[in-house]
Amino acid sequence: MTLIGQSIAMLVFVWFCMKFIWPPIMTAIEERQTQIAEGLAAAERGQQSLDKAKAESGDIVDEARKQATTILDQAHARANEIVAEGKANGVKERERQLAAASAEVEQETNRAREELRGQVSAIAVASAEKILQREIDPKAHEDILSKLAAEL
């Protein structure tokens, strides 16, 4: 009886297992297997695109660095140019002002000399007048006086 009962119990358990336990578990396992495989593939793809993006970003950074160097060089050149220009302008301006100043000085000197000459001739005429008050007519001797003044 035990023997028969056990056999029946076993067949019932096996039947139950076959019907209600095995299929859902196997389905779940197989589904998970495909999911894991897909996940791994996706991770692989992600890794690849990450590598690509890294390479790209490296390129971009290199490019930017090159550009920055160019810009810096240009700026340096421009700065040097400006400085040189300024220096040249300064020199020119100084020379110009120097020239103007010396011209003015010359002019002043000439005018002062003219004035002085006039005054000296006047003084000479006055002193000659005083000396020669009587007989000398300024009008008659003007040519002599002016010759004198010119010699001063």
Partner 1 sequence: MATEDGHGAQTSGEYIAHHLQNLQVCKVDDAWVWNQCAGNPMALNVDSMFFSVLLGLVFILIFRGAAKKASSGKPGKMQAFVEIVVDFIDSSVKDTFHGKSNLIAPLALTIFVWVFFMNLMDLIPVDWLPEIGMMIGVPYLKVVPTTDVNITFGMSIAVFVLILFYSIKSKGIGGFIGELTLHPIAPPMKGVGLIAAPFIIAFNFILESVALLAKPLSLSLRLFGNMFAGELIFILIALLGIWQLPLHFGWAVFHILIVTLQAFIFMMLTVVYLTLASEEH
Q: Which two tokens stand for residue 87?
A: 């220096």
Q: How far is the CB of 48 from partner 1 (least distance, A)?
A: 26
Q: Which two tokens stand for residue 102?
A: 């010396």
Counting every residue, how long is the chain?
152
Q: How far is the CB of 26 from partner 1 (least distance, A)?
A: 7
Q: How far is the CB of 45 from partner 1 (least distance, A)?
A: 21
Binding site for partner 1 (CB under 8 A): 1-7, 9-11, 13-14, 16-18, 20-29, 31-32, 35
**22 versus 69: smaller Cβ distance to partner 1:** 22
Burial class (CB in 10 A: 0-12, 13-18, 19+), 91: exposed
The runs of H, that is alpha helices, within 132-141 are none
Q: How far, in Å, are 98, 109, 113 from residue 95 at the CA level? A: 5, 21, 26
**21 versus 152: smaller Cβ distance to partner 1:** 21
**35 versus 89: smaller Cβ distance to partner 1:** 35
Q: How far is the CB of 40 from partner 1 (least distance, A)?
A: 15
